[in-house]
Amino acid sequence: MYCGQLIFFEESFNVVTAPTREKGKPTDKLTLNTLCFNTFMIMNIFNMLNCRVNTNELNIFSNLVINFYFWIVFLFEMGVQVAFIWWSGSPIIGTLLNCTTQSVAMVITAWVVGGLVLPFRALMVKFVPASAFEFMKKVDLETDKNTNCVTKCFARIVRGR
């Protein structure tokens, strides 16, 4: 599993066996790990906007200003993620968080890929009918009846029944 010569790296490296630090300095593997984590976190933060709408409405930006606490949490999480990448250049924080700084191109890539969750939801709402998820009505995770595959597996694995 070699990471080919991508835009962000000068040489190929093995993503499984390559060290994250050599002589105290971050390697390309740590840079890749930080990029992946940053992208994942931004996807989750943007997905908070998608989760505000629990109907098949396409416009997730309707009623944006109704919940003041949502925006406090949203901005706090966004600020923490930006600070995470910003301050990871410090040797102490970078070592504690096991991350490294990102180039401007990497940050833009993370934001663009992370922002794709917004149109992805619209595509799914438009092209996947709600009837495709009718089977979920049978899945009851609130009671302990062991009537579906999820609760049966849970009972078998965790409780040994």
> In the predicted model, what is the mean pLDDT of residues 20-30?
85
Per the model's pLDDT, the better-predicted residue between 54 and 106 turns out to be: 106
What pLDDT, in 10s, does the model give residues 106-143? 999 999 999 999 888 888 888 888 888 887 777 777 77
pLDDT the model gives residue 4: 46
Same domain, 146 and 110: no
How many angstroms from the chain centroid is the CA of residue 88? 19
Same domain, 38 and 113: yes
Spatial CA neighbour of 128 closest among 56, 78, 75, 76: 56
Per the model's pLDDT, the better-predicted residue between 117 and 53 turns out to be: 117
Same domain, 56 and 104: yes
| Single-letter residue type at 112 | V
Most confident of 36-45, 57-66, 79-88, 91-100: 36-45
Same domain, 121 and 143: no
> In the predicted model, what is the mean pLDDT of residues 59-88?
86
What pLDDT, in 10s, does the model give residues 88-101? 888 888 888 888 98
Same domain, 19 and 88: yes
**Residue 110: Cβ within 10 Å count:** 23
The structural domain count of the chain equals 2
- Dig out the tokens for 155 from the structure: 């009972």
Same domain, 50 and 111: yes
* Secondary structure element (H or E) that encloses residue 60, with its range: none
Same domain, 72 and 25: yes
pLDDT the model gives residue 6: 62
pLDDT the model gives residue 3: 53
pLDDT the model gives residue 19: 87
Q: DSSP string covering 138-154, please?
A: G---SS----SHHHHHH
Same domain, 140 and 113: no
pLDDT the model gives residue 160: 64
Same domain, 77 and 139: no
Range of the domain at 25: 2-128
**42-46, 53-57, 66-70, 109-113, range with the lowest pLDDT:** 53-57
**Measured CA distances, 161 to 17, 32, 125, 145, 154 (Å):** 40, 43, 39, 12, 9
pLDDT the model gives residue 95: 83
Cβ(114)–Cβ(42) under 8 Å? Answer: yes
- Burial per residue of 37-76, b for 16 or more beta-carbon CB atoms within 10 angstroms, e otherwise: bbbebbbebbeebbebbeeeeeebeeeeeeeeeeeeebee
Q: Residue 42: is its pLDDT beyond 50? A: yes
Phi, psi at 18, each rounded to 5°: -65, 140
